[in-house]
Amino acid sequence: MNPAVIELKDICKTYNAGTPVALEVLHGIDISVRGGEFACLIGPSGSGKTTLLNLIGLLEWPSSGSYHLKGRPIEQAGDDERTRARLETLGFVFQFHHLLPAFSALENVMMPGLMRYGAYTAEQRANATELLSAVGLGGTLHKRPPELSGGMQQRVAVARALALSPDLVLADEPTGNLDTHSADGVFELLRRFNETKGTAFLIVTHDPRLAARCDRVIELRDGVIVGDAPHRR
C-alpha cells in the first residue's frame, strides 16, 4: 500500500470565529489520500466540498485539527513553506481554468516551473510541450486561451496541473462547465495520468456519471463525511 500523500485528522473550519456571525462549515474531518488513488468528493451544494479542497490545497487555514502532507505537519506552516509545499506536492485543476489570457498555452503550462525556479528553462519547455501533446494540443502551443474552446482550455489546465509532477492533483468541478463530450475527454485525461504516472487525484464533482468511474467515493454532507468507500467500476 502506498503511503499517504495527505492525512487530515479532526479538521474543523470556522469563518468569522469569535464573532456573533461565526459559522463552522467543517466539523471534525478525517481523511487521507494515498499515492496513486483516484478518488472523488461528492455532496450537495453548501456541504463544504470547496472549503475542504482549499484546506487540502493550502489555500485556507483550518481552525483546528492536524494536517500532514507527505508525513510533515503543515497546518501551522508559514506562507513561504505553504507555497513551497504546493509547488512540490500539489497540482490544481479548477472549473473555470484560471489560465492567463495574455500568455500562450505553452507559457501557461510552464508557469508553475517559473514560480518554482524563477525562470523558464529548456527542460520546462520540453516537458510542457510533451504534456500539451499528451492532452491533444500539440498543434496549439502558441495560441492564447481566448483562441481556444472551453474544452481545450481545460486540457491546458490539466497539463499545467501536471507540469511539476505533483503527488496529488486536486480538481474542483473540472468538468462542471463543459458539455458531455468535452467533460468525458477531460476525465479520461485525468484517468490516464493516474494510471500511467501514478498521480493521485481528488476530484470534486456533481456528475454521478463521473463519480461512478472513480475508485473511491467520499461523501460530504453538512460539513461531515457521511460516506467513504471503494467503488467498483
pTM over 0.75: yes
CA atoms of 19 and 108, how far apart (whole Å): 41
Q: Which pLDDT value is given to residue 118? A: 81
How many other β-carbons are positioned within 10 Å of the β-carbon of residue 102? 10
**Structural domain spans, the chain:** 4-230
- Please give the pLDDT value at position 113: 84
As averages over each run of 10 residues, the pLDDT of the chain (233 residues) reads 91 90 92 94 90 91 92 81 84 82 94 83 90 87 92 88 90 81 82 89 88 92 91 60
What is 4-230's CATH number, 3.40.50.300, 1.10.760.10, 1.10.1060.10, 3.40.50.720?
3.40.50.300
Given this model, what pLDDT does residue 128 score? 93
pLDDT of the residue at 170: 94
Q: Spell out the SS3 assignment of the chain.
A: CCCEEEEEEEEEEEECCCCCCCEEEEEEEEEEEECCCEEEEECCCCCCHHHHHHHHCCCCCCCEEEEEECCEECCCCCHHHHHHHHHHHEEEEECCCCCCCCCCHHHHHHHHHHHHHCCCCHHHHHHHHHHHHHCCCHHHCCCCHHHCCHHHHHHHHHHHHCCCCCCEEEEECCCCCCCHHHHHHHHHHHHHHHHHHCCEEEEECCCHHHHCCCCEEEEEECCEEEEEEECCC
